Structure 1
């Protein structure tokens, strides 16, 4: 699609926009990923547009020069909703609502599992509605809130017809089994715990290999280089593979037989859901929302930072084909039942419509 056709396809009439989803961070993050997945669904249900940099060209979004139009009421009257997910986006909404008197209600989604700093508390106190992404997150909020957990696209993330063929499609050896750890390569994400677990276990399980998929930013490059040195020193460079960052990560999940989420800290964490939707059981640290996402019939939760527990639990899966098969089936059913992206989209729209009904 040419740039002109792209602009035409995503052109938005601000007068008909009822919900604005700002994204004021250019670099890809979990919040940005959530917006990218939800907006195409929600625009089919309500007049909605994104705003800000770092978003795909085909996403419906307002241009900056259109923002002054938000100071007027939308077609049909009433108020708009501004859905912020970061401090800077709350500030943007407050400037429009309280300084420029835009007819607007502001929603904030919190994923943080720690006590908020003074500025964040100040901003949250001025929101019209607050959403928590998990019960753990809700426990840190001092204001009334609604828990709406993230969902995922179960069409994109699905069980492969044949895992060996799925491995072959991404350039892997189809005769091997793969354990995977996906996401940013850094200490916080526990990539070292996964690598150390694989170094300990792979010599005993010659049919298995491991995949680390994700990018190390410049400040974490030395960390990744150190992991690769440890792998080389263990003689496992051909079996613990650092494959980099991929936009088609769903294809890599379908190549796995086990997924490990070793994070030391996480806000929410979608990767266990993505793995389970792909029919893959999960070993996950008890951080973020993982304990609320991974049921015992689809995986196991271990203490964060506990390398011994990780080795012990991962080995159970490497050694037991029947366990992996049974839990993989249960994992897919669990996500289909409770974590469909469309369900999250509908719950959010119910919040928006409730605020619109209050008027201003």
Structure 2
């Protein structure tokens, strides 16, 4: 049973529904526990796993008997939590039913020590803690009251198939026009939630400097991500970005594309994908862009350098707009280089970040291998 009692919507919340179809393909019976009416609950149902629901996190603790009865009825002996706050319920279930095995994925990257009495009790019930990168594993080892043997790195995985090119030339050009990209322009995209910490402002400053660094290069910037709170973005921050675009004289040079469910197709419309996040715990967008065969410029911080090797992309300091301008100029002016990096990126994604391999490693842990 995957437990995710979150009313938000981001990579953490998407994870259970992302892997459940592959769990089922590999012969596992998957269940979920989610908040009633949440997008997590909707995504689980859409993935073929109608979840058990509760109205709130507090109510879940009060209904622990109901949850235990559900686990017994379905013969469930593996629990997997995805938010640290959900470990209260997971640890309580294990305390009441010691046969259960409890797993926890630290999707966010812990930022402070968790070694007080409560955390020693909760994490003491965890069979295995998964760090999603080496960068987060190093922080986990310092922060959590667990021996190193119980903290394993497990890179996330994605279904690679949707990211293979599907559009013919005419369809691709139509999509580019929809994004305000002219036929002769290099499309430079930044996909992801529009919230502070994702590096949008340094990227915009980099685009402004790109005009000076490569005055002969025709380009257009595309920001891909929800524009409202209901789509996971910070509306005040979106307004701040619009003002910054105007202040930098980039109006007409940058499109706010909004939330797009067809992200794999949008990658086909882009020539360069930028991920300037300052401290990514993993960097799922980087892997998605690699799977799409795109040349990527990523921030030289957090876990991104683990994913993006020199032969399949470029790294730039997350606080240095000039470094972003230089990287975008290099790739923007060399189509052959973009193709070569993109092909190498796709091969690396196939070798290391396929969801099938991720789930096999995960279920080996579930089974106690």
Aligned residue among 269, 288, 302 for 2:283: 269
How big is each residue's C-alpha offset from its partner over 1:224-257, in whole Å with a ceiling of 9 and x where there is no partner?
2232223234443222111111122111111111
Correspondent of 2:257 among 243, 255, 271: 243
Partners of 1:260 and 1:25 lie apart in 2 by 28
C-alpha deviation, 1:212, in angstroms: 0.5
Taking only aligned residues, the RMSD between alpha carbons, in angstroms, comes to 2.4
Q: 1:266 to 1:167 in 2, by over 3 A?
A: farther
Does structure 1 conserve the Cα–Cα contact (< 8 Å) formed by 2:94 and 2:125?
no
Once the two structures are TM-superposed, the CA of residue 327 in structure 1 deviates from its matched residue by 0.6
Instruction: Work out whether 1:88 is the aligned partner of 2:85.
Output: yes
State the Cα distance separating 1:222 from its structure 2 match: 3.1
Query: What TM-score results when the alignment is normalised by the length of structure 1?
Result: 0.84
Equivalent runs, 1:95-114 vs 2, <5 Å: 95-98=92-95, 100-101=96-97, 103-111=99-107, 112=109, 114=111
Is the Cα–Cα contact under 8 Å of residues 108 and 127 in structure 1 kept in the other structure?
A: yes
Shift in alpha-carbon separation, 1:126–1:97, aligned structure 2, 3 A? closer
Higher normalized helix content (fraction of residues): 2
Write the deviation string for residues 286-313 of structure 1: whole angstroms up to 9, x where unpaired: 2332111111111112222222211111
- How far apart, in 2, do the equivalents of 1:290 and 1:179 lie? 19
- State the partner residue of 1:17: none
Partner-residue secondary structure (3-state), 1:314: helix
Cα offset for 1:121? 4.7
Q: Which runs of 4+ in 1 moved over 4 A?
A: 160-164, 216-219
Taking structure 1 as reference, are residues 184 and 279 closer, same or farther at Cα in structure 2, changes over 3 Å only? same
Per-residue CA shift, 1:174-221, capped at 9, x if unaligned?
613211101111231111111111122247255211100113555833
CA distance in 2, matches of 1:263, 1:285: 6
Indicate the residue corresponding to 1:166 in structure 2.
172
1:50 correspondence with 2:32: yes
Unaligned runs of 5+ in 2: 55-65, 142-146
Aligned residues: 332
Aligned 8 A contact 1:185 1:224 in 2? yes
**2:75 is the counterpart of 1:61:** no
Residue 17 of structure 2 corresponds to residue 21 of structure 1:
no
Gaps of 5+ in 1: 1-19, 356-360
Q: Deviations over 1:15-42 (max 9, x none)?
A: xxxxx00111021111112222101111
Contact 1:163 1:254 in 2 (8 A): no
Looking at structure 2, the residues matched to 162 and 332 of structure 1 have their Cα atoms a distance apart, in angstroms, of 19
Partner of 2:20: 39
Deviations 1:47-74 (A, max 9, x none): 1112103222323033248624245375
The structure-2 alpha-carbon separation of the partners of 1:110 and 1:222, relative to structure 1 and needing over 3 Å to count, comes to closer
Counterpart of 1:192? 201
Find the residue that maps to 1:284 and give its secondary structure.
strand
CA 1:202–1:164: 2 relative to 1, 3 Å? farther
